A and B are shown apart, each in its own frame.
Chain A
Amino acid sequence: MAEKEVDERSLVRTATTTTSDEVPQNLETLSSDTNPSHIEAPLPPVKEKKIEVLLKATGDAPIMMKKKWVVSPDNTIGWISEFIKKCIKLGAEERLFLYINQTFAPAPDQTVKNLYDCYGTDGKLIIHYCKTQAWG
């Protein structure tokens, strides 16, 4: 039983050749995914194996020029939220909602590592963000 879990995880991690991405929300999302800038990690260096996250705008939320980021596994959802707010120049008063699987909003103290281990697909974690509650 323990082996099976390991098998599944390694399957997920090695499936980098698959082209299947999640259905893009719109054309902009698709086109900028081809931007090669995601190869470089812009965030402070950390020792552990980093995790690729894909940030997708939903509803009326502004789209980010760069959607794929590599982050430390210990980073929290609260940290990601602040990061997106800065990127899309959201005011301090404005709220931002983050969703996993287009289903639930993870708690701000939840880590990227936990979410990737449970809900990661094709070697990355997809996070949707919007300015109003979407799948509340």
Chain B
Amino acid sequence: MANDREVLREIWEGKIPVCFQLDSEEVYELQAPDPFYLMVPRLSYFPLCTDKVRKHFLRHVQQDIQDKHEIEMWLEFNGTPLKWHLPIGVLMDLYHNDIQLPWNIVVHFNKFPEDVLIRCHNKEVVEAHFLSCIKEADVLKHRGQVVSSMQKKDHNQLWLGLLNDKFDQFWAVNRKLMEGTCDEAFKYIPFRCYTNEDKYIQRLIKPVNEEGQRKVLRHLLNEVFPDMDQVVVRTHGIVLPLDTPLQWLSEHLSFPDNFLHLVLVSS
């Protein structure tokens, strides 16, 4: 069970200052609209916290684009489209070396990059993706038994907790997903290890060894990257100590989708 509530709180409250600007090619008027500044939660997804950004810039683009229903806004950083289906904090960790705060992000309404981004017409698409990640994580942790024993309203509560930034609402349900089995450990640790912005590795890694001793982050990295020594990873903006126990890490530093998102730090 996740006991270190202060850690959970601290992680939940992580925010990033972002400066959104409309792509200069999409500016229709003589003057470019003002940039839009916003503090975005690391644990959230861009489509969940950019309604105001969309509203602010949509007035300034060509009329025929404004008239299209469900016109999709997409974001770009340094020439790369930002994947909305990754939590914002993961994107931040992926582009860590290139980002200066506030994080400058370019807003687009035109030329949606079909080959790079998944379509996201509304927040239900994000909800389906988010809940699917939680289900997959529970398959790894508890053979899917906890999530399948939950009711629709519990799933709803997880989603609304994230959507409305309600820590207590989210954790009232999420704590059940973070309980270990009888020996107090998960079957496998749900994690994704990003080697670059387009590629991540996912493997079956247990939190304890055959003798029942708890494993630490170093063990996980050795198993995932057997040919590399000195692997270092970052998550939530923190370079993790290699002797952090895996079970604790999974319970406390997982994103709301119940996965650990570890970004390889290039040395």
- The docked-state distance in angstroms from the alpha carbon of A117 to that of B132 is 19
A1 x B204 contact (CB < 8 A):
no
B85 x A103 contact (CB < 8 A):
no
* A97 to chain B: closest residue by CB: B128
Q: How many residues does chain B have at the interface if contact means C-beta atoms less than 8 Å apart?
A: 31
B155 to chain A, nearest CB (A): 10
B139 x A104 contact (CB < 8 A):
yes
Choose one: A100, A101, A103, A108; the contact of B118 (CB below 8 Å).
Answer: A108
Choose one: A1, A2, A105, A117; the contact of B202 (CB below 8 Å).
Answer: A117
B214 to chain A, nearest CB (A): 10
A2 x B85 contact (CB < 8 A):
no
Within 8 A of A (CB), among B120-159: 128-129, 131-133, 135-136, 139-140, 144, 148
Within 8 A of B (CB), among A73-92: 78
B132 x A105 contact (CB < 8 A):
yes
Q: Chain A 91-122 against B: per-residue CB contact (8 Å), 1 yes, 0 no?
A: 00000000011011111111100110111000
Choose one: A1, A5, A104, A109; the contact of B136 (CB below 8 Å).
Answer: A104
Q: How many residues does chain A have at the interface if contact means C-beta atoms less than 8 Å apart?
A: 24
The answer to whether the Cβ of B37 comes within 8 Å of any Cβ in the partner chain is no
- The docked-state distance in angstroms from the alpha carbon of A78 to that of B119 is 12
A104-B132, A136-B128 known; A117 and B223 CB under 8 Å?
A: no
A2 x B136 contact (CB < 8 A):
no
The answer to whether the Cβ of A4 comes within 8 Å of any Cβ in the partner chain is yes
The answer to whether the Cβ of B219 comes within 8 Å of any Cβ in the partner chain is yes
A101 x B85 contact (CB < 8 A):
no
The answer to whether the Cβ of A60 comes within 8 Å of any Cβ in the partner chain is no
A1-B215, A2-B223, A108-B118 known; A117 and B204 CB under 8 Å?
A: yes
Interface contacts beyond A4-B210, A103-B136: sample of 18 additional A-B pairs, CB < 8 Å, sorted by A: A1-B210, A2-B226, A4-B206, A78-B118, A101-B139, A101-B144, A103-B135, A103-B139, A107-B118, A107-B132, A109-B83, A109-B85, A109-B198, A114-B201, A115-B202, A117-B203, A118-B188, A136-B132
